[in-house]
Structure 1
Amino acid sequence: MASLAPASFGAALTAAHDASGAQHYPQGTLYVVATPIGNLADITLRALHVLQLVDTLACEDTRHTQSLLRAYGIDRPNARLLAVHQHNEAEAAQGVIARLVQGERIAYVSDAGTPGVSDPGARLVAAVRSAGLRVLPLPGASSVTTLIGAAGLVAEGGDGSAASAFVFAGFLPSKAGERDAAVQGLAQEPRAVVVLEAPHRIEALARALAVLGERRVTVGRELTKQFEEIATVPAAALPDWFAADRDRTRGEFALVLHPVAVDDGGAAEGERVLRLLLAELPVKTAVKLAAEISGAPRNALYETALRMRKDAGDD
């Protein structure tokens, strides 16, 4: 996390009040607040206002959150901080619900980024919503969207249009066999895929991803921090890329597998075969066989099949 003196945010706190103070903040509501993933300046004005406003602040780590608040010049007594983390989330959620029923405003923050995205928070939100209480999200920093925005995800081949879809896989399994199996699954996914990893496992992940060969991978290391590094290399070259500089294995990581290059010939053949099969077979069966025959991506063929059926119904 970047180090900035509390006084640096005095104007920001005033701006937060001026910009957000007149908005409506209902009582009995859980506010899910995104916090910076590194650079403290990546906080929203509305987040600053809500962190000052709420009655209780639920957080993944009370000590970490207290340090964050002090960096912004926000003074909250420890008694108003409530620990809600992966080991107690289900139980702690009941305490949060009890406070909400009493009309409290409660904010939840994880250590960094958006709660519930490879961080605690999802179980808490589910429990609060199941109790019929309101959840109000405050968007902000996320390593997922940060890296997607810097990766330049353009499908190679075809018309060169940007790849609009991606899959978020989060942290892959830590055990080698399970991780390798997960990578084999990702190899069948034609869309971009975002994965996260910790420094002590990044080299093992690099070796596992190397089987993807020439598929491009963008590595985001220490995103938004002082030593941020973003590089795109073929998957097969990942182990050597990390080995070339030991500093590259330090920090927190997000990686994005670029979309599979489009093969115009394979796509055209897949559509031709699919059209023939749809005349005789159900959609799922036709898609499965067309993918096996042509090598075209199954997901793309499935969307094509639905479009063909819709067009046929409109005639």
Structure 2
Amino acid sequence: MVVPHCCSRTAIAGQGKGFDAGSKLVRPTSEAPDSAANPGLRAIPPGLHFVATPIGAARDITLRALDVLAGADVLVAEDTRTLKHLLEIHGIALGGRPLIAYHDHSGEGPLQRLLGHLAEGKSLAYASEAGTPLISDPGFELARAVAAAGLPMTAAPGPCAAICALTLSGLPSDRFMFAGFAPATRAARRSFLAELAGVQATLILYESPKRLADLLSDMVAAFGPTRRGVVCRELTKRYEEVLRGPLQDLATEVAGRQIRGEIVVLVDRAPPVSATTESIADALDEALKSMSVKDAASFVSQTLGVSRKIAYQIALDRSRE
């Protein structure tokens, strides 16, 4: 398929050997699995350890994550089959340790069981199916319950599809907003996008390949056809692909294809809106409720991109009224 000149495509051939294309975990190019560190060499402190796992290539896991998985007293996973697969690739033995499933539909019973293990002073390693737990993955209720109970909790950071996509997008990365999944129904999705249209930050969304065309079409309506976007597919996997271009061209490109794999969609920040005297005054009235005249003027100047001298003078006038 010929890609429109306005869109650029990057395809990276892969990492796989012996695994189906698009596998959650892609075996390293070497046939020999990595050997995990001897758990006896590194004591895993008591508490809950959130472990980020690969989003594609199995070698993307961190050494610390391997230590935690090898040495934790209890292993917890969104999908126990996926975690077993990862342990196998890296040569980590389960060794009779409990392997407990915990996901969004687990309910109160498994949650209390995990809290009980933590109260006993055990170390628990929790992994979502892929990537960083809690980033559109389970773990929030567990984290909130552990925090409320005053039990120890930490994280072994690592792969995250949202951050990987932002890195490859070419869009501004100094300020970004992760918006998760858009609603599945058109009316709800359009309302959702309308609320994001003016955000002064790069937007990052996850999407199902089956709904990608509909999402891009609604983005054209909500954000305008010329706003720049990026579609990332199958990041770190064999058929990794990145499409960049105006939203209208991306929508046209995707509409003519059968899309598969895991998708991240990014959209450039909204164009700046020219401030008026009225909008400056309104912003200052709000800022002056909690700030001094000087601080309010500085805040509004930076937020609206207007002269600090003008904002300060208006703030003085408003404060005297």
Q: Same fold (TM over 0.5)?
A: yes
Answer whether contact 1:283 1:302 (CA < 8 A) is retained: no
In structure 2, the residue matched to 1:144 is: 162
1:188 to 156, 174, 198: 198
> For the residues of structure 1 that align with 2:303 and 2:176, how far apart are their CA atoms?
13
In the superposition, the TM-score normalised over structure 2's length comes to: 0.77
Change (3 A) 1:200 1:89: farther
Alignment equivalent of 1:103, drawn from 115, 118, 121: 121
Do residues 25 (structure 1) and 49 (structure 2) align? Answer: no
d(CA) in 2 for partners of 1:148 and 1:62? 29
TM-aligned CA deviation for residue 3 of structure 1: 2.5
Structure 1 residue 298: Cα displacement: 12
| Counterpart selection for 1:169 from 174, 179, 183 | 179
Once the two structures are TM-superposed, the CA of residue 8 in structure 1 deviates from its matched residue by 2.8
Larger mean CA deviation between 203-212 and 221-230 belongs to 203-212
Q: Does 1:113 align with 2:113?
A: no
Residue 240 (1) aligns with residue 252 (2): yes
User: What secondary structure is seen at the aligned counterpart in 1 of 2:245?
Assistant: strand
1:229 pairs with 2:241: yes
Q: How far apart, CA to CA, are the structure 2 residues paired with 1:6 and 1:130?
A: 45
Indicate conservation of the 8 Å contact 1:89/1:124, yes or no: no
CA distance in structure 2 between the partners assigned to 1:115 and 1:48 by the alignment: 16
Larger RCO: 1 or 2 (CA < 8 Å, sep 6+): 2
Contiguous gaps of at least 5 residues in structure 1:
155-162, 286-296
Q: CA deviation at 1:189?
A: 1.5
Whether the 8 Å contact between 2:198 and 2:270 is mirrored in structure 1 is: no
- Pair 277,177 (structure 1): closer, same or farther in 2 beyond 3 Å: closer
Name the structure 2 match of 1:59.
Answer: 77
CA distance in 2, matches of 1:303, 1:180: 31
Displacement of 1:193 in angstroms is 0.7
Map 1:213-224 to 2 at 5 A.
Answer: 213=224, 214-224=226-236
Q: CA deviation at 1:114?
A: 0.3
Q: Between Structure 1 and Structure 2, which shows a larger proportion of helix residues?
A: 1
- List runs of 5+ in structure 2 lacking aligned partners: 1-24, 290-299, 317-321
**Cα distance, 1:68 vs structure 2:** 1.3
Alpha-carbon distance change, 119 to 130 in structure 1, aligned in 2, over 3 angstroms: same
Distance between the aligned counterparts of 2:108 and 2:307, measured in 1?
Answer: 42
Q: Give the partner amino acid of 1:2.
A: V
Relative distance call for 1:233 and 1:86 in structure 2 (3 A) is same
Q: Distance in 1 between matches of 2:256 and 2:151?
A: 52
Partner SS state of residue 34, structure 2 = helix
AA aligned opposite 2:217: R
Pairing 1:300–2:303 present: yes
* Alpha-carbon offset, residue 221 of structure 1: 0.4
Q: Secondary structure at the match of 2:177?
A: strand
Runs of 4+ residues over 4 Å off in structure 1: 272-279, 302-305
Q: 1:45 to 1:65 in 2, by over 3 A?
A: same
Q: Contact 2:61–2:158 at 8 Å: present in 1 too?
A: yes
Question: By how many angstroms is 1:238 displaced?
Answer: 2.5
Q: How many residues align?
A: 277
Matched, 1:252 2:255: no
What amino acid is the match of 1:136? T
Q: What corresponds to 1:72 in structure 2?
A: 90
Which of 99, 102, 108 in structure 2 is aligned with 1:81?
Answer: 99
Q: Percent identity?
A: 32
How many angstroms apart in 2 are the aligned matches of 1:151 and 1:221?
12
Partners of 2:44 and 2:307 in 1: how far apart? 45
TM-score (structure 1 length as normaliser): 0.78
Report the CA distance between 1:301 and its aligned residue: 2.8
Residues 129-156 of structure 1, C-alpha deviations (whole Å, 9 max, x = no match): 11110111110000111011111224xx
Q: Counterpart of 1:85 in 2: which secondary structure?
A: coil
Do the aligned partners of 1:89 and 1:123 also contact (CA within 8 Å) in 2?
no
| CA pair 304-128 structure 1, distance change in 2 beyond 3 A | farther
Give the deviation of 1:234 after TM superposition.
1.1
Structure 1, residues 165-201: CA drift from partner, whole Å, max 9, x if none?
1111000111111011111112122211100012222
Residue 60 of structure 2: SS of its match in structure 1? coil
The 1-side partners of 2:163 and 2:118 are apart by: 31
Is 1:133 aligned to residue 151 of structure 2?
yes
**Residue 7 of structure 1 aligns to a residue in which SS?**
coil
Cα 1:299–1:259 change in 2 (3 A) is farther
